Amino acid sequence: MDNQGFISVEFLFSLFIILIIATGLLIYSQNTMSSSLNIESEFNHRLILDNVANTISQVDSNGEFYSKYLKLPITDKNYVLTVEKNKLIIEYDNKKGEMMIPFIEPYSTYKMYPGHIYLIEKTHEGKILIK
């Protein structure tokens, strides 16, 4: 501004550049936050998948009639775990994760839901039963 109260062209140009830079930083930080939240969600679901696979492997390796309770945690996103043949599958938000569980033989295909408690046991036939 000069002494008479008029805004100069250089001042307007500088203000315009500052607004463009601030908008760019805001958009970049929003994308970074969204990406980090997405990574956190994927990591949490991967941990759930690993925990269930480890529990099933423990039951399988401890022999006949061994059983263990498993409570699936409730997360901000709903998910479904499926046990079929030698695979453990988690599905959430149109995403899918798989983990191989070697040497197990379940009776059938099981669907497991968050917040429920399941009894995983090995029968005298050597098969995994989930109740």
Q: Which residue has the higher pLDDT, 3 or 60?
A: 60
pLDDT the model gives residue 19: 93
User: What span, in angstroms and rounded, lies between the C-alpha atoms of 123 and 107?
Assistant: 10
Among 20, 3, 109, 121, which Cα is nearest to 70's? 121
In a domain, 1, yes or no: no
pLDDT the model gives residue 6: 66
User: Given a cut of 60, is residue 100 above it in pLDDT?
Assistant: yes
In which band, very low, low, confident or very high, does the pLDDT at 112 lie, cut at 50, 70 and 90?
Answer: confident
User: What span, in angstroms and rounded, lies between the C-alpha atoms of 10 and 38?
Assistant: 42
In the chain, how many domains are there?
1
Residue-number span of the structural domain to which 125 is assigned: 9-130
The predicted model gives 104-130 an average pLDDT of 81
Residue 59 sits at φ, ψ, to 5 deg, of -65, -40
Q: Tell me the whole-structure pTM to 2 decimals.
A: 0.67
pLDDT digits (tens, 9 = 90+) for 19-52: 999 999 998 888 888 787 778 778 888 888 888 8
pLDDT the model gives residue 22: 93
Cα-only R_g, the chain:
27
In a domain, 2, yes or no: no
pLDDT digits (tens, 9 = 90+) for 55-66: 888 888 887 888
Please provide the DSSP assignment of 54-84 as one string: HHHHHHHHT-TT-EEEEEPPP-SS--EEEEE
Residue 101 sits at φ, ψ, to 5 deg, of -120, 100
